[in-house]
Amino acid sequence: MKAVVYEGPRQVSVKDVPDARIERPTDVLVRITSTNICGSDLHMYEGRTDFEPGRWFGHENLGQVVEVGDGVDKVQVGDYVVLPFNISCGHCKNCERQLTNYCLTAQPEPKLAGAAYGFADMGPWAGGHAELLRVPWGDFNCLRLGEDAEERQSDHVMLADIFPTGYHATEMAGVQPGDETVIYGAGPVGLMAALSATLRGASKVMIVDRHPDRLRLAESIGAIAIDDSKVDPVQAVLEETTGLGADNGCECVGYQAHEPDGQEQANLTMNRLVGSVRFTGRIGNVGVFVPQDPGAGDELAKQGQLAFDYGLCWFKASTSAAAKRRSRSTTGNCAT
Ligand SMILES: [Zn+2]
Ligand SMILES: [Zn+2]
């Protein structure tokens, strides 16, 4: 089969690789028909992770089942399925608590938890930027789609990561009906967080970015666009909220946050969120942060550390919940 193989920083090429195949009775084999390029893929593509050359990306996958193992009961050949990017067994200690993004079985490295298709430090699993994908624990990991699956696959493929990740940011931020919510980052995940905040009944959704196309899209779903290349976003949020700050906020940018001139500053969005959210407000963080970032420009960031405004965060009794993106469960893994 063909796959888009990672060869080193900023280098990928389409190559012939061994076909994905059924390896265990619980596997399902999927012919990929839609797959996205994620912001997480770009961190890996740019060489800002330890993703190994020779592997391929692709964790946002949708396709048609072409073969099932003997131990698969529900999923059938011919089904269109979308695959939540977190691979999980469904029966370990964490999966039983719905923390499927921290599955202990799918991650062979004992110091880690959680697995994903074609992802640095998330197990050995191949990605879906290829013609075929092996899906382990197929009955648990395949979400079967309805009759409109083929025709609406570009909508359904959003369920692999982007939409539930955006939704999860609002879950961790505790968005309630009537809330005023701010979102940093108007990429696909930030836009889905804005849409999710609206679905949860937020009365005002503000979104901070500097790309005019993204800001226009944000406005088209009813959010107030704040252009941080033109105004101080913290000040703009305070003005929109009678000086109190937003009830809650979502971080949808991650460790490669940067100023409009391109200067990276990993603590930029977290500190702006602390400034933007009211006393006792909550922050949900789904942007990617990593324990080591050798490609970072400063010493702290190389060690995965931030100069975080902890004093102000403590003083305001803000709560912050962070998690690798997840598709099914709903609670944060660390709270300050
Ligand atoms: Zn993704
Ligand atoms: Zn598990």
- Interval between CA 69 and ligand 2 midpoint (Å): 19
- Interval between CA 58 and ligand 1 midpoint (Å): 8
- Among residues 136, 160, 184, the one where a domain terminates is 160
Average pLDDT, integer, range 46-65: 96
pLDDT digits (tens, 9 = 90+) for 113-149: 999 999 999 999 999 999 999 999 999 999 999 999 9
**Cα 303 to Cα 294: distance, rounded to the nearest angstrom:** 8
- Among residues 92, 127, 160, the one where a domain terminates is 160
Quote the pLDDT of residue 324. 58
- Among residues 160, 183, 213, the one where a domain terminates is 160
Which ligand has the shortest distance to the CA of 164? 1
E-strand stretches of the chain:
2-8, 11-16, 28-35, 61-68, 80-83, 86-87, 115-116, 132-135, 143-144, 180-184, 204-209, 224-227, 246-251, 277-285, 319-322, 334-335
Average pLDDT, integer, range 154-167: 96
Is the pLDDT score of 332 beyond 50? no
**Cα 150 to Cα 154: distance, rounded to the nearest angstrom:** 9
The domain that holds 302 is classified in CATH as 3.40.50.720
Is the pLDDT score of 153 beyond 80? yes
Torsion (CA) 207, 209, 213, 219 in degrees, nearest 10: 10
Beta-strand relationship, 80-83 and 224-227: unpaired
Same domain flag for 243 and 330: yes
Same domain flag for 326 and 194: yes
Same domain flag for 140 and 171: no
Same domain flag for 141 and 205: no
Same domain flag for 107 and 219: no
Same domain flag for 38 and 86: yes
- Interval between CA 329 and ligand 1 midpoint (Å): 16
Same domain flag for 149 and 174: no
Average pLDDT, integer, range 64-91: 97
Region of poorest pLDDT, from 177-181, 232-236, 284-288: 284-288
- Interval between CA 279 and ligand 1 midpoint (Å): 32
Same domain flag for 140 and 167: no
For residue 251, give the 3-state DSSP assignment: strand
Same domain flag for 114 and 225: no
Same domain flag for 75 and 144: yes
- Domain of residue 141 covers 2-160
- Interval between CA 93 and ligand 2 midpoint (Å): 7
N- to C-terminal Cα distance for the chain?
46
Is the pLDDT score of 68 beyond 90? yes
Is the pLDDT score of 334 beyond 80? no
The domain that holds 112 is classified in CATH as 3.90.180.10
pLDDT digits (tens, 9 = 90+) for 299-316: 998 998 999 999 999 999
pLDDT digits (tens, 9 = 90+) for 197-239: 999 999 999 999 999 999 999 999 999 999 999 999 999 999 9
- CB-based neighbours (< 5 A) of ligand 2, an ion: 88-89, 92, 95, 103, 105
| Higher-confidence position of 306 and 30 | 30
Is the pLDDT score of 179 beyond 50? yes
Quote the pLDDT of residue 184. 98
User: Is residue 325 very low, low, confident or very high in pLDDT (cuts 50, 70, 90)?
Assistant: low
Closest CA to 129 of 43, 288, 2: 2
Is the pLDDT score of 335 beyond 80? no
**Cα 318 to Cα 182: distance, rounded to the nearest angstrom:** 14
Same domain flag for 144 and 234: no
Residue 213 is which amino acid?
A: D
Q: Identify the sign of the CA torsion 218, 220, 221, 223.
A: positive
Quote the pLDDT of residue 322. 79
Counted domains in the chain: 2
What is this structure's pTM? Answer: 0.92
Same domain flag for 267 and 134: no
Which ligand has the shortest distance to the CA of 93? 2
